[in-house]
Amino acid sequence: MTRAQLLGLGMSSKAIENRIVLGRLHPIHRGVYAVGRPELTQRGLWMAAVLACGSAAVLSHESAAELWGIRGLSNRSMRGARDRTPSVIDVSVPGTTSRRRRGIRLHRRHELPPRDRTRRDRIPVTTPARTLIDLATQLDGERLEAAVNEADGLGLIDPETLRHAADERSVLHGVPALRKILDRRTFTLTDSELERRFLPLVRAAGLPAPLTQQQLNGFRVDFYWPELRLVVEADSLRYHRTPSQQARDRLRDQAHVEAGLTPLRFTHAQITFDASRVCAVLRAVAQRQRLLLLGAQ
């Protein structure tokens, strides 16, 4: 509780001091007290830090991510990590706030609109969208993508909603880095662009040219090698597919397996941004298929 809250309940300054002496109130920060005992849980420490920074303060950045349950973070991946310690709590405050607090890292904002503020376990905190935008100013690309994945997996926010939030907050510093991650995750190609980018990878892997856009087992497939009994599909959305899309993909793959084919999937983003991995997988699977077909003869 804060001193202001205790005074609002009718307690006098002298009564507050007496309770501190008697061990019923334990100062955590200036004007913020633990009631009954000094030991606090992590959530208690977060609440105390926010209370110490004023009524407009909210938990933010890495501390907000931890409160939301996004735990796949590492101080080593932070920019400027040498001056961070695990005990520091991130709190965002209005730009006019200047008072420093021990153990609290202040992030001064010109404005934090209501749409970016919420509560979790009664602790004022930035929303999942704003938390990820803030993290984008601190995390490298790999760790930022891990944070986005984890937020998606926890059901906090999906990539399309996050992209919309980033578009609405385009002036914020973290938005360009976050958009880069989101574009890689939901990158799509037209059929002609997909063929133009994928076919050189096929040649680099030592495979013959495939048939494209064929009807096979009741489905249109992207790439097909009859002589290898191999089908390659390119998924436009890697991480956040709807249940109906997932079910249709399973039926498609099952139909191909039932017909004696080997289905293989890559994302559009993999084909564009991770060509070496795609080539390696194509080469290995094609070699396995050749051996299997030779053994069957």
90-99: pLDDT as tens digits? 999 987 666 7
| 98 and 25 fall within a common domain | no
| 98 and 135 fall within a common domain | yes
Query: Long-range CB contacts (< 8 A, 24+ apart) of 215-218?
Result: 216/256, 216/259, 216/261, 217/252, 217/255, 217/256, 217/258, 217/259, 217/261, 218/255
Q: Are the C-beta atoms of 144 and 61 separated by less than 8 Å? A: no
CA R_g for the chain? 27
Question: Which pLDDT does position 237 carry in this prediction?
Answer: 57
Question: Which pLDDT does position 72 carry in this prediction?
Answer: 59
Q: Residues of the chain whose pLDDT is less than 50?
A: 74-85, 238-240
Question: Which pLDDT does position 97 carry in this prediction?
Answer: 61
Question: Which pLDDT does position 269 carry in this prediction?
Answer: 85
Question: Which pLDDT does position 185 carry in this prediction?
Answer: 66
| 61 and 163 fall within a common domain | yes
pTM (whole model) above 0.75: no
Question: Which pLDDT does position 78 carry in this prediction?
Answer: 45
| 203 and 271 fall within a common domain | yes
In the chain, beta strands by DSSP E: 25-29, 32-35, 58-59, 89-94, 104-109, 117-120, 123-126, 211-216, 219-225, 230-235, 262-267
| 108 and 204 fall within a common domain | no
What would the two tokens of residue 83 be? 């001056």
To which residue do tokens 């009524």 refer?
55
Which residue type occupies 42? Q
Burial class for 291, CB neighbours closer than 10 Å (0-12, 13-18, 19+)? exposed
> Which domain-ending residue is among 134, 152, 185?
185
| 281 and 211 fall within a common domain | yes
Return the closest-CA partner of residue 151 out of 134, 173, 167, 172: 134
| 241 and 223 fall within a common domain | yes
Question: Which pLDDT does position 218 carry in this prediction?
Answer: 93
> Which domain-ending residue is among 158, 185, 212?
185
Return the closest-CA partner of residue 2 out of 56, 38, 51, 37: 51
Write out the residue range of the structural domain in which residue 92 sits: 43-185
| 208 and 285 fall within a common domain | yes
| 173 and 76 fall within a common domain | yes
Q: What are the φ and ψ backbone dihedral angles of 90, each rounded to 5 degrees?
A: -85, 125
What's the total number of domains in the chain?
A: 3
Question: Which pLDDT does position 77 carry in this prediction?
Answer: 44
| 125 and 31 fall within a common domain | no
Distance CA 182, CA 147 (A): 12
> Which domain-ending residue is among 155, 185, 215?
185
Can you give the CATH number for the domain in which 233 is found?
3.40.960.10
| 15 and 113 fall within a common domain | no
| 69 and 171 fall within a common domain | yes
